[in-house]
Structure 1
Amino acid sequence: MATQNPIEMDGTYPLPEAQLDRFLVKTRMGYPDPAAELRVLHGEHAGAQIADVERVSSPERIGALIAAARTVHVAPSLMQYIVSLVGHTRSMPLLRLGASPRGALGLLRASRVRAAMLGRPFVVPGDVQALAGPVLAHRVIPSATFEVSGGLASDAIDEAVAAVEAPPVDARA
């Protein structure tokens, strides 16, 4: 887990593609809501609360959850879908650099976890589609033309998801 300052801030530099590719998911936190920001002003910030942190899990429980996610079934057609989706990013004019094989592996792993979190022992196309943006957008580089026109990497991933046909849902396959 890591945090990243906006690139526009002084003293920050973009991470190289090889480093970005090693993060499973990128999410934007945004600003805190007014109530949370008020708590910060009252001294309830991370530094003041460090002694109050409570354990919510154990290494054994986390290991068991990881093992459970690995047992989630992924049909061969869905593995092919992931390969096709990631491969599509490599030929898109909107992107100067498409997603790597590590991106495909990350999308597979994240899809398994999502299915497990939703109580399913199998992955469906919706799992892959829901996670394509968070898992792949930080791994691709938009073309200069696309960026100048206001396009974002996440927009290109959305287009890839729309362009690549998902297989029918069949939990048994």
Structure 2
Amino acid sequence: MQGNENADLVIVEYGDYQCPYCGAAYPVLKELMKEFGDQVTFVFRNFPLSEMHPYARPAAIAAEAASLQGKFWEMHDAIYENQKSLNEIFLFQLAEKIGLNISQFKEDIQKTELEEKVDSDFESGIVSGVNGTPSFFINGNKFNGGAEDLLGLVRENAV
């Protein structure tokens, strides 16, 4: 979660770190948070499409491991900003680059709780009707548009 946790506008993204459409949505969402971060709660949920994207799940687990060191968003951003280079070894390079304790990171990525968190995010997406990435929800309702549409909607309704 980032932004204003008490905001009236809650945006949830179900995303896959290896999905090119999520990669394209990433800079738009960064812009949205730059403009409206004080008016929005933004939540990212893992929805790795592992059959198509073999590094999506390891990347999701790496981001959750970074979260244990208080650096979820730094890892999230680093993965999307280097999406084309994604592989399991590269995740360790990113962990080092963002200043994680590497021995702790190596331990954490083995934790079943992190796999369970990723699986739980995925299952909540399935229950909510997510059938592709990125999928967005606004205040609990599925938004049938892309990141650009979402940014436009927020700009139109900004106070």
**TM-score between both structures, scaled by the size of structure 2:** 0.31
Ranked by relative contact order (alpha carbons within 8 Å, sequence separation 6 or more), the top structure is 2
**TM-score between both structures, scaled by the size of structure 1:** 0.29
Larger strand proportion of the pair: 2
Largest Rg, 1 or 2: 1
